Amino acid sequence: MRPNDYGKGYFCIKKEKIYYLLMVILFLIILEGGLRVINLVIPSEQPEHRIDIQNQLSVYSDKSWSEDYWREFYSLTRRFAPYLTWRRNEYQGEYINIDSEGIRETWHTQSNDRDAEKIFMFGGSTMWGTGARDNYTIPSFVSKKLHNAEYEYEIINYGESGYSITQEVVQLSLLLKQGNIPSYVIFYDGVNDISSSYQNGKAGLFGSLDSIRNKIYPQSSSAVTVKRPFYIDAIQDAKKMMAKWSVTYRTLANIKANVFGKQSDKELEEIFTDKYSKEHIIALAEETVLDYKNNIAFVKALSGVYGFEHIFIWQPNLFSTSPLTPEELSYKEWDKEYEQMVDFYRMVYDLIEVEDIPNFYNLASIFNEKESTVFIDWCHITEEANEVIADEIYSILLQVMNSNLKDLDL
């Protein structure tokens, strides 16, 4: 073979590789374009599947608004909020409306006086109103009851999904610093404070701490940071970019999740499976109650400076309620799977029950002896149950108001 033949052979092989590479690139371009078209024409099945699950609950079977409500709910997004970590984005819907500050709309009269005294209501997703329309959240029911009794107050729902009492106290501090001073503040907590303690192994932190921290600072962790090769971060950055811009990448990731298990399921298992010794779990329960009491003490100190009244409500959940309907019992299938976490909830609830805390009201057993389903999962409740909670809060609020009037008379 002549020398030129080697060159020609090499050139042919190289040309063939370039050809196949171009074919692969062309295929990926066509695939990406096709998936984008499909994505526009056919909505994602995941939210629809979740909507179907919610609609199957008996409490929504006769609600014509249910499907549209859950479609709005699952379309909500979040943004970063300084000092608070997250807050929902602005949204306008038929049943869910959120302003530019991330605050959900609360029922008020058309002639509502914006100069009226304010009542701030803080809490997690149960206060925000998961499963309920704007006018049927706990704050909206309290607002209606005050109006019907001819009290002129503006109720503001500062509830947000996942918030623990520490985040709520931080938000109150920010509002006070801005000169936004209420007459009354009401906190409705328990569930998120306990779950975040169990998840983090320490009280006073917000939920999903490691997940959020790793998104902001991928190399940080609660353990010692290990120096990694530069290309590891480059690969992670490339993955983030692909996840954001490539439908093909997201589709393949979803296929992988369905075949090998979703990351969220792994995170849930990591959060809730048994992972503490008996001694640690007892100490953690005591620490959780102490952290809650410390937040109350801090709010009391703020109230002395800014002149507002404060009320603290401990919320019910599935594990604090008995008896349960057959439908509610079906939610408890994971009770056995995450036995330690459930025991931890009950342990904290038992500890808080014997505490003597000023301005603290325990509603953990408010749904005992009920006859119908009030829970739509292990902690969220129906619109009708929201009104039951609002009735109690309204009664407590009147007691505090009347007590203040007596003090003035003295």
Query: CA–CA separation, 199 vs 347, rounded Å?
Result: 15
Give domain status of residue 157, yes or no: yes
Cβ contact 188:317 at 8 Å: no
Q: Is residue 319 located within the same domain as residue 202? A: yes
Q: Is residue 31 located within the same domain as residue 97? A: no
Give domain status of residue 147, yes or no: yes
Indicate the angle between helix axes 278-306 and 339-353, nearest 10 degrees: 50
Q: Does pTM top 0.85 for this prediction?
A: no
- Domain residues for the domain of 16 are 3-42
3-state secondary structure 355-372: CCCCCEEECCCCCCCCCC
Q: What is the domain-level CATH number for residue 142? A: 3.40.50.1110
Q: Between these two residues, 179 and 221, which has the higher pLDDT value?
A: 179
Give domain status of residue 367, yes or no: yes
The mean pLDDT value for 168-183 works out to: 98
Return the pLDDT at 382. Answer: 97
Give domain status of residue 21, yes or no: yes
Query: CA–CA separation, 404 vs 410, rounded Å?
Result: 10
Q: Is residue 37 located within the same domain as residue 83? A: no
Lowest mean pLDDT among 6-10, 56-60, 122-126, 286-290: 6-10
Return the pLDDT at 261. Answer: 43
Q: Is residue 303 located within the same domain as residue 176? A: yes
pLDDT level of residue 237 (50, 70, 90 thresholds): low
- For all residues of the chain together, what is the average pLDDT? 83
Q: Is residue 84 located within the same domain as residue 38? A: no
The mean pLDDT value for 88-116 works out to: 90
Return the pLDDT at 309. Answer: 98
Chain centroid to CA 212: 13
Give domain status of residue 61, yes or no: no
pLDDT at 181 over 60: yes
The mean pLDDT value for 173-202 works out to: 96
The mean pLDDT value for 112-126 works out to: 89
Give domain status of residue 185, yes or no: yes
Return the pLDDT at 252. Answer: 62
Radius of gyration of the chain (CA): 26
Cβ neighbours of residue 76 closer than 8 Å, sequence gap 6 or more: 88, 89, 91, 96, 98
Residues 26-38: tens digit of each pLDDT? 887 887 677 666 6
The mean pLDDT value for 124-135 works out to: 98
Q: Is residue 173 located within the same domain as residue 90? A: yes
DSSP 376: S
Q: Is residue 127 located within the same domain as residue 7? A: no
Helices marked H in 164-313 — which ranges? 165-177, 191-200, 209-216, 230-245, 247-260, 263-272, 278-306
Closest of 241, 195, 175, 189 to residue 360, by C-alpha = 189
Q: Which two three-digit tokens encode residue 161?
A: 């999904």
pLDDT at 243 over 80: no
Q: Is residue 35 located within the same domain as residue 131? A: no
The mean pLDDT value for 149-177 works out to: 97
Q: Is residue 17 located within the same domain as residue 114? A: no
Domain count, the chain: 2
Give domain status of residue 118, yes or no: yes
Q: Is residue 38 located within the same domain as residue 83? A: no
Q: Which two three-digit tokens encode residue 64?
A: 């014509």
Query: CA–CA separation, 167 vs 151, rounded Å?
Result: 29
Q: Is residue 107 located within the same domain as residue 175? A: yes
Query: CA–CA separation, 312 vs 315, rounded Å?
Result: 10
pLDDT level of residue 134 (50, 70, 90 thresholds): very high
Share of the chain above pLDDT 70, in %: 74
H or E segment and range at residue 155? strand 153-157
Give domain status of residue 260, yes or no: no
pLDDT level of residue 224 (50, 70, 90 thresholds): very low
Cβ contact 349:283 at 8 Å: no
Return the pLDDT at 202. Answer: 92
Return the pLDDT at 16. Answer: 73
Query: CA–CA separation, 107 vs 361, rounded Å?
Result: 24
Q: Is residue 188 located within the same domain as residue 117? A: yes
